[in-house]
Chain A
């Protein structure tokens, strides 16, 4: 499951620029490296996608410019 999500995540990062042009500010749902849904909120994406797809089989990503929306920085405490 983690590997599949990693593939979807890499797909988003690779295509971020194109997706920003088309879906800036919206939440895309990615499965098998394809966009299967576009929503205005994360909870809408979550609730609607899980009706037809198993949780864990798709990735929800907020489409924004830059890396802030898919990066976290921990200056202390966290181990990888």
Chain B
């Protein structure tokens, strides 16, 4: 069985943005005999389900000495433009790395230097809950389970329906009394 890895972000309250550390390096050292000697730099990255692919800023490209290997048409609310793409390795703080990922260069606000897009997020299970007013994000690799709130709620509601007492006053449960045969 392959190892499972997980990462969680726990807010003390409700979070309006999900940020974690992300490591980035060149995809290849240029020296086949020393592939392990890649310099990894760590940046703040936003987990963004609104991004089809992952993004780095020009600062990351400059600091790592990345050279563009392609272009892509970038569509945003402000229009469409061709932007450079780079090949990088991405390291998540859960002992998981993604080799040779194509990332797009774009401008991000604040001290955020990376977006973790759906190309990464779809490689595992991603959940976002806000129980008791606290945001909790979980990301696990590999994907192991489909979470279906609608199914869970239907099962729970059916179970409660079975336990409901009939209102006719005979002291029987509804499904064995006036509700017999009804769906």
Compute how far the CA of A28 lies from the CA of B71 in the bound complex, rounded to whole angstroms: 13
- How far, in whole Å, are A9 and B71 apart by their CA atoms in the complex? 6
A70 x B71 contact (CB < 8 A): yes
Residue of B nearest to A55 (CB): B67
- Which residue in B67, B69, B76 is a CB contact (below 8 Å) of A78? B76
B interface secondary structure, majority? strand
* With A73-B75, A80-B74: A46-B46 Cβ-Cβ less than 8 Å: no
Q: B67-117: which have CB < 8 Å to A? A: 67-79, 81-84, 87, 99-100, 102, 104, 106-109, 115, 117
Which B residues form the contact surface with A (CB < 8 A)? Answer: 27-28, 30, 46, 48, 50-53, 55, 67-79, 81-84, 87, 99-100, 102, 104, 106-109, 115, 117
Q: Give the 9 A-B CB pairs with smallest separation, nearest first.
A: A75-B50, A55-B67, A9-B71, A56-B67, A79-B107, A76-B50, A73-B75, A78-B106, A43-B100
- Chain A interface (Cβ within 8 Å of chain B)? 1-2, 5-6, 8-9, 41-43, 46-47, 50, 55-56, 58-61, 67, 70-80
